[in-house]
Structure 1
Amino acid sequence: MRKNKSFLRLLSIFIGLGLVYVTFLQVKISQYCNLKSPRNADYLIVLGARVNGVEPSLVLASRINAAAKYLKENKKTVVIASGGMGPGEDISEAEAIKKELVKQGINESRILLEDHSTNTYENIKFSKKLISPKSKSIVVVTSTFHLYRAISLAHYQGLSVDGLPAKTPWLAVFKSYSREYLAITKFYLERYLLGFS
């Protein structure tokens, strides 16, 4: 009987700590959901997300739409479409971004491709190589759930960026946020405990 009570007590503590941690993560994510982007940025980096064959997923389409709106309002900004090709994708995420931006009236001459990255860290690392050292303003476009980690990774790599949040489609909310909690935890572990480089 005592063993059962001790187990339940430990389980309750564990669940309580888990809820506190998830709440902490959600607060951090929420702080980045309504960021205002500076006008006339030198570069706009659109972070990739899943492509279904050749069609952008709902999450990626939302990012593309946010980027297209910004680019139409800021004519001199150059955009970097970032993302490689993963399983089930017939074209790279970067190519899908470019294709959809062109459909929405963005001139190809304004679009640079970064099509080798496989995760957010590489999105930033490889996109950084395409940015002029003279650049003064860089904006990262990604989903609301992803912006906190994306900006944190950029700053960690010495790249000063602002954020442009793209709405997270309702159908993708549960899956996206659940995965993001794990991804942020992995980032914390690598950065603070394992000497992330």
Structure 2
Amino acid sequence: MKKRIVLSILCVLLLLGVGWVSFTFYHMKHVAKEQPPKNIPYLVILGAKVNGEKMSKAFFERAKVGLQYLNQNENTKVIVTGGQGPDEDITEAEAAKRYLIENGIAEKRIFLEEKSVNTYENIKFAKKLYSINEAVFVSNDFHLYRAIQLAKAQDIKAYPLAAETPKVVKPKLFAREFLAILKWVITGK
């Protein structure tokens, strides 16, 4: 009898887990398909790993999509975010800034947030530094759902702009993001 009860509880927990993952995955995919409006005052490129001074593949995809938006919306300013990790020679924000300048974006359109160490801080510090209340947020498709929710929680009218996630890191980053979303649900950060 006890064995049957334990088995029933485990089955219910498994079903709840599968349901939660399915629900979350649906929202991640849905948000990543949205297209932002034109001429929003700010574009925020969320930071990601830098190897030495070179952006990781996932971060490069974010910067590339951000560049496309900036080229199509000449009045939009960009905030590049991200501090410097122990194995990074420059801040994530500096790496993105260099890429944008190399690709024709005027330096006067680029603003830096270089203290953050996670998505919550990227958004919080960018808002505090530049008083943003409306922005397009650029990140990889797996990451946008949580980023947009974090921005909305800080009273920012937020629009997603998805960058492709490189196939080589997709399973790892999606799995990690499910854990980050669970942490966000529990802590709000």
The TM-score range, normalised by the shorter chain, is over 0.9
Report whether the alignment pairs 1:151 with 2:148: yes
Q: State TM-score, norm by structure 2.
A: 0.93
Mapped partners of 2:156, 2:5: distance in 1: 49
C-alpha contact 1:43 1:131 (8 A) present in aligned 2: no
Q: CA RMSD in A?
A: 1.7
Aligned position for 2:172: 175
Gaps of 5+ in 2: none
Mapped partners of 1:114, 1:56: distance in 2: 16
C-alpha contact 1:46 1:79 (8 A) present in aligned 2: yes
How many correspondences in the alignment?
A: 189
C-alpha contact 1:62 1:166 (8 A) present in aligned 2: yes
Report whether the alignment pairs 1:27 with 2:26: yes
Gaps of 5+ in 1: none
The equivalences for 1:1-197 within 5 A come to 4-132=3-131, 137-191=134-188
Shift of residue 131, structure 1, vs aligned partner: 2.8
- 1:13 partner SS: helix
Percent same amino acid at aligned positions? 43
The one-letter code matched in structure 1 to 2:10 is L
Shift of residue 63, structure 1, vs aligned partner: 0.2
Mapped partners of 1:57, 1:38: distance in 2: 28
